[in-house]
Structure 1
Amino acid sequence: MTTELSFADDGTRLVGDYVRPPWPGPYPAVVFVEGSGPGGRDQGAWPTRLAAAGFASFAYDKPGSGASTGDWTGQTIADRATETTAAVRALRDREDVLPDGVALIGGSQGGWVAQLAASADDTVAAVVSVSGPGVDVLAQEEHRLRHQLPAEGFTEADVRQAVALLHDQVRRVRAGDDPARVHAEQARWHAAAWYPLLAGTTPRSIGFLAGIADYDPAPALGALRCPLLAIFGADDLLVPVRESVRVIADTLRAARHDIVVFPHADHNIRIYAGEGPARVRNGHYTPGVRAPGFDELVVTWLQRHCAAPGTRH
């Protein structure tokens, strides 16, 4: 059963879909934390899957997307975390939600955001991070370019130039340069076939990237007190999986956490019949199948950490 739900954060009105099981609550619940880009409330089959397992869920349009006001390109990771805790409060205020049973599911950039939000809000029951990097933003972006571009057939010279532009954008905006001027002065590269794969391809996206480039997830991981499930795909081209696993394991050595790496899976935890380079075309993943066991892992882990008596399995 789906109803529209809205909440406010720093003058912005965020709107999304609240989906609940078809039996009376109160229910444990999940807030979806979107990854990079404009994003929206569409989480595919996940809300229905969670409802069948006894969870309510809330997915909302990012600022400036769909029905939400504001502008996501003006946000930092900290801004997004504050927004996420406001979404958690909106669920905890509902009579049909267990106030101590609200978890976060963050994908990619949303993994950083979910961990930071939970580190600052001890009412968050648990966090599921899907392909959430354990390294800082700039390191992750450089890793992505060095692996995604060759997978799409670009040369080593292309990679070097793309990485150079990435660092030039961040360095200049950090130093106070106008993102519009940075973008204009890189105009000779705009027609390059690899240019659309940069994170910063417009003045707004260059400004956004520079604003979050320094974010390091280690302090938030160190402050995390709720259980964390960190999921990765072994063949992820966008995130340094081995380094991320090492950082998370070392940082949370004494805390409750689980780390799962699905073999042959990509950034979206999907598996493909073809070879690696065939998976990516023009910056987008070709269709694949969800890694076997992924859905069951997430649901059963959440049930273990958030489910209330009477939750239906």
Structure 2
Amino acid sequence: MFFEPVSTELSFEHDGDKLVGDLVRPPWPGPHPAVVFVEGSGPGGRDLGSWPTRLAAAGFASLAYDKPGSGASTGDWTRQTLADRAEETVAAVRALRIRDDVRPDAIALVGGSQGGWVAPLAATMDDTVAAVVTVSGPGVSVLAQEEYRLRHQLPAEGFTDTDVQQALVLLHDQIHRLRSGEDPVRVHAGQAQWHDAPWYPLLAGTTPRSIAFLAGIADHDPARALTALRCPLLAIFGADDLLVPVDDSVRAISGILRDAGHHDHEIVVFPRADHNIRVYAGEGPAQMSNGHYTPGVRAPGFDELLVTWLQRHCPRSGGNRRNQASSPSWSV
């Protein structure tokens, strides 16, 4: 007998936009616990590779959708704040909750990278969210994360300390000028002398639209959402992440949740894993060969951890736990 999940296109509305995605569920009768995927930065889409199938095999329905202005969805993600994205995530949860094939009390959020800021914030806006998983979700502010990324990603790509310092200058210049009310087109044009620099494409803001988006989210600090979070949280990191300050994030998340009296959380760091929780042969993160990265493999135990944690907190029947278990931070 072949295992073949059932896939259905699902659409919902938020702020005048029509968001379109795929709902993938097990082939056996429901209702099923469910997951809403919360995309990271950039356009983003519903293609999440094998994850919907993996979750369906574990008994979960899952929804992944095109971000506004991407794929079949209308709108423009560059005009959103992280609060807008969180409200959109809540709209996705509500679209699942009314379905007969989904358990309304067992819907979790899985947010990757930038989605790791969005998912906890969404959970504070809707207390029916059963659990949150963040994968490489920073525990620091957007600006702090961008500074870290430039200081670590650029040298890993072969750029000099001088390049890093100039990139940081441009980053702060973009944010300062937009905060002062300057038009993003003018800000972008004002940095024209750097547009052909080999490292310039690695900036988060390289067009008027992306500069405006970055400036609009730069002040976001996850502390407020984490303080207000009531559902269980699993935060996963790769120790060799060049994009997110892992040690600072682990410290911040564990400290904030401890002070807030939140006890049902786990923080897991996979050694030698990168931002995508992949490991590579050799020393350090992704290895270069002939100008290309060598392919990595998912860190051993990552898939099992995510699935079994979700099964514990969003079971197929019975109530889910809220704020009851111990709260270790550990490396595997």
Fold shared by both chains (TM-score > 0.5): yes
Q: Which residue type is aligned with residue 2 of structure 1?
A: S
CA distance in structure 1 between the aligned counterparts of 2:316 and 2:180, rounded to whole angstroms: 51
What does residue 55 of structure 2 align with? 50
Q: Which residue type is aligned with residue 230 of structure 1?
A: A
What does residue 173 of structure 1 align with? 178
What does residue 309 of structure 1 align with? 317
- The higher relative CO (CA closer than 8 Å, separation ≥ 6) is in 1
Contact 1:32-1:58 at 8 Å conserved across structures: yes
What does residue 238 of structure 1 align with? 243
Contact 1:32-1:104 at 8 Å conserved across structures: yes
CA distance in structure 2 between the aligned counterparts of 1:166 and 1:72, rounded to whole angstroms: 20
Instruction: Measure how far apart 1:181 and its partner are.
Output: 0.5
What does residue 27 of structure 1 align with? 32
CA distance 1:20–1:247, shift in 2 (3 Å): same
What does residue 274 of structure 2 align with? 266
CA distance in structure 2 between the aligned counterparts of 1:184 and 1:85, rounded to whole angstroms: 37
Aligned residues: 309
TM-score by length of 2: 0.91
What does residue 299 of structure 1 align with? 307
Partner-residue secondary structure (3-state), 1:308? coil
The match for 2:112 among 99, 107, 110 is: 107
Contact 1:221-1:251 at 8 Å conserved across structures: yes
Instruction: Measure how far apart 1:173 and its partner are.
Output: 0.5
Instruction: Measure how far apart 1:292 and its partner are.
Output: 0.2
Q: Which residue type is aligned with residue 44 of structure 1?
A: G
What does residue 18 of structure 1 align with? 23
CA distance in structure 2 between the aligned counterparts of 1:117 and 1:213, rounded to whole angstroms: 18
List, as ranges, runs of 4+ consecutive aligned residues in structure 1 with deviation greater than 6 Å: none
CA distance 1:280–1:238, shift in 2 (3 Å): farther
Partner-residue secondary structure (3-state), 2:83? helix
Partner-residue secondary structure (3-state), 2:150? helix
What does residue 206 of structure 1 align with? 211
Confirm or deny that 1:148 pairs with 2:148. no
Q: Gaps spanning 5+ residues in structure 2: where?
A: 1-5, 319-332
The match for 2:10 among 5, 12, 35 is: 5
CA distance 1:91–1:226, shift in 2 (3 Å): same
Matched residues, percent identical? 79
Partner-residue secondary structure (3-state), 2:307? helix
What does residue 194 of structure 1 align with? 199
What does residue 322 of structure 2 align with? none
Partner-residue secondary structure (3-state), 1:36? coil
CA distance 1:285–1:133, shift in 2 (3 Å): farther
Contact 1:106-1:130 at 8 Å conserved across structures: yes
Partner-residue secondary structure (3-state), 1:4? strand
Q: What whole-Å deviation, never above 9, does each CA across 1:158-206 have from its counterpart, x for those lacking one?
A: 0000000000000000110011111001000000000000000000000
Q: Which residue type is aligned with residue 134 of structure 1?
A: G
What does residue 289 of structure 1 align with? 297
TM-score by length of 1: 0.96
Instruction: Measure how far apart 1:279 and its partner are.
Output: 3.8
Contact 1:151-1:276 at 8 Å conserved across structures: no
CA distance in structure 2 between the aligned counterparts of 1:191 and 1:20, rounded to whole angstroms: 46
Instruction: Measure how far apart 1:303 and its partner are.
Output: 0.2
Q: Which residue type is aligned with residue 296 of structure 2?
A: G
Contact 1:271-1:291 at 8 Å conserved across structures: yes
Contact 1:151-1:280 at 8 Å conserved across structures: no
The match for 1:221 among 214, 226, 251 is: 226
Instruction: Measure how far apart 1:287 and its partner are.
Output: 2.4
Confirm or deny that 1:80 pairs with 2:85. yes
What does residue 45 of structure 2 align with? 40
Partner-residue secondary structure (3-state), 1:252? helix
CA distance 1:290–1:278, shift in 2 (3 Å): closer
CA distance in structure 2 between the aligned counterparts of 1:95 and 1:289, rounded to whole angstroms: 37
